[in-house]
Structure 1
Amino acid sequence: MKKILAILILISAACNAGEPAPKRIVSLAPSITRSIYQLEAGASLAGVTIYCPAQAKDKEKIGTLLEPNIEKIVALRPDLVIATKEGNRPETVRRLNELGIPVYTMESFDNFEAICNGFIALGKRIGRQEQANAIVEQSRRRVEQVRKKSKAHRRSRVFWQVGAQPLFTVSHHSFVNDFIELAGGINIFADLKSRYPQVSREAVLHADPDVIILVAMGDVTENEAQKWKNFKPGRTGKIVTLNNTVFTDPAPASFAEGLEIISRILHE
C-alpha cells in the first residue's frame, strides 16, 4: 500500500510540474522583458525588441514590437517566444507557430487583479512561480495601503490623456483605470466602451476635470500641457506630465509604484 501511495505521489508531482522551464526565451515586448528580469530570469533571454530596458542592452535585438524579424528569431533557436495579445500582431504569432516555435501569449489586462494573475501565470510558465507569488503578494500590500489612504480624501475628477492628435484616453476596460480609481480619483471617461477611446477636447472641457494627466506622449507632451493651460481645467486644476514606464507596463510591482505616484498627485 505504501509503495502504491508513493507512486501516486510521484505521478501527481510529475503532472503538476507542467512544462519545463525554457532556457532560450525571445521577448516580443518591452513589458515582457521587464517582467522576466523582475522574475530573475534574465539569463534565459536569447532575444528582445530594440526598445527593451537597459538591462537587456547586450541581448540580441529581433526588431520592434510591431515588426519583429522572424528570420532573426528562428536563428536564435528559442524554446519559447513570449508575445502580448494587445501589442503584437496575430500574424506574427501565427507565423511562429507555423514554423514550429512555441509561443506563449499574454492576455490584455483590464485591472490590477488581472495583471497579478497574468504575472503569476508567466512565472509558472518560465519556472519562476515562487518569485512571481512573492512579487504579487508584496504588490498587493502596497496597492491596498494606497486604497485605504485614499478614502480619507475628496475624489478628484481625472482626465488621463494618452494621445494628442486625436485625443485618446482610457476607460474601465484598461488596467490604467485602476491607477485612477484605486488612488481615489474618478475617471471622467470610465464608462466609454473602447479600451482606449478617442474623445474631443470639447468633451473633456464639458466633463470639467480637476486633474489632467498626460502620459508617455513623447515630444508633444509639453505642447499639450500648454494647450490645456488656456482652458478652465488648466487654469484652476492641476496638469501633470508623466513619462515613467510604470504607467504603461502591466506588471504588479510597476503598477504599485505607479499607483503611489498617482496618489501623491491627487492628494498632495
Structure 2
Amino acid sequence: MATDDAGKQVRLPRAARRVVSLLPAGTETLVALGAGDRIVGRTRYDDLPEVAHLPSVGGGLDPSLEALVALQPDLVLAFETAGGSRIRARLEELGIPVFAIAPQDTTDIFRNLERLGQLVGRDAAADSIARHVRAELDAVRSSVRGRQTPTVFYVVGIDPPMTAGPQTFISQLIGVAGGRTSVPDVQALWPQISLEEIVHRQPDIVLLPVGKDSAASLARLRSEPGWRELRAVQQGRIATVPADLMNRPGPRIGEAARRLRQALHPASGATRP
C-alpha cells in the first residue's frame, strides 16, 4: 500500500507488473528502479530509448482511454492536476488502480521514489537511488560553497511571464547550484509576475529552459518588450538549460543540479564533481 499525492491509498494485491505511465518523470523513475520491463504503455512525450518500442496512449493529461485499457495495466501513474486526475475516476470504475503524482519540491520527489519502489517491489533499489541522488546534490552544493550567489529568474513562461516559486524543486535546485531565486517573497508555486516587477527586481541571471530550437527561444526573449529592458538580457546574462531535464522531477535531479551549476557558475562546471 502507498499513499499518493492526492492523499489516496493505493493497494495492490502484488507488485505491479503491467504499468502505464502518463508522465515522463514516472517513466524515468521506473526505469531507474530497474522496473522498465514492467512498463507496457507510455505517452508521446516519453523519450527514453528504453521505452521507445512501447505503444503510446497519447498525452499525459488526455490519453486515449481505449488504448490505455487495451494494455490491461495493473497500475497507472497519472499526473495530479489542481482539479484532480482527469481520468482517475473512469479507470477506477474499471478496476484499474491509479497512483497520482504531483511533486512540487525535492521532498516530494524522494517520497515518490520510495512509494513507486514499494508498488513495483523494488524497495531496496529505491533506497539506493535516493542515497545516490542525495550524494549528487551534496557534491554540487559543496562545489559552489563560498561563491557568490546570483539572483535568478527562472522562465516558466514568457507571455505571460511565469516563474518557479521558492518552494518548488526548481528553486531548491537553483539553491543547490549556488543561486537564489529573485522572487523569495512570493508564496505561489508557479506565479505569474508582471514584467514591471521583473524589471524592478533586475535579476542577475535569466535562466531559460529550452528545447530543440533554443535559438528561437533566445531570440524571442531578447526581442520581447519588457524582457529586453532587463540588464541581464542586455548584457548577455541569459543562461539556458534543457527543458526536458528541468521539467521532470525524478531521479535525474542530480544531473539537473549540475547543469544549473554550469549555467550559474560556468567556470566551475568542468572541474567540479
Smaller-chain TM-score bracket: 0.7 to 0.9
Partner of 2:141: 147
Secondary structure of 1:46's partner?
strand
Partner of 2:99: 104
Partner of 1:264: 262
Alignment of structure 1 residues 1-268 onto 2, 5 Å:
19-55=13-49, 56-86=51-81, 90-110=85-105, 112-216=106-210, 221-227=217-223, 228=227, 231-236=230-235, 238-252=237-251, 254-267=252-265, 268=267
What CA deviation, in whole Å up to 9, does each residue of 1:75-98 have, x standing for no partner? 111111111224995231111111
* 2:199 maps to amino acid: L
Alignment gaps of 5+ in structure 2 = 1-11, 268-273
Q: 1:153 to 1:68 in 2, by over 3 A?
A: same
Alignment check: 8 A CA contact 1:225 1:241 kept: no
Give the superposition deviation at 1:218: 6.6
* 1:92 maps to amino acid: I
Say which structure is richer in helix: 1
What TM-score, normalized by structure 2, do the two folds share?
Answer: 0.84
Larger RCO: 1 or 2 (CA < 8 Å, sep 6+): 2
CA distance in 2, matches of 1:69, 1:177: 34
* 1:264 maps to amino acid: Q
* 1:247 maps to amino acid: M
CA distance in 1, matches of 2:93, 2:212: 37
Secondary structure of 1:198's partner?
coil
Aligned residues: 249
Q: 1:160 to 1:200 in 2, by over 3 A?
A: same
Alignment check: 8 A CA contact 1:80 1:101 kept: yes
* 1:93 maps to amino acid: R
CA distance in 2, matches of 1:217, 1:182: 23
Give the superposition deviation at 1:149: 2.5
Give the superposition deviation at 1:237: 5.6
What TM-score, normalized by structure 1, do the two folds share?
Answer: 0.86
* 1:72 maps to amino acid: A
Which protein is bigger by CA-based radius of gyration?
1
Secondary structure of 2:40's partner?
strand
Secondary structure of 1:265's partner?
helix
Alignment check: 8 A CA contact 1:163 1:217 kept: no
Give the superposition deviation at 1:213: 0.5
Alignment check: 8 A CA contact 1:215 1:247 kept: yes
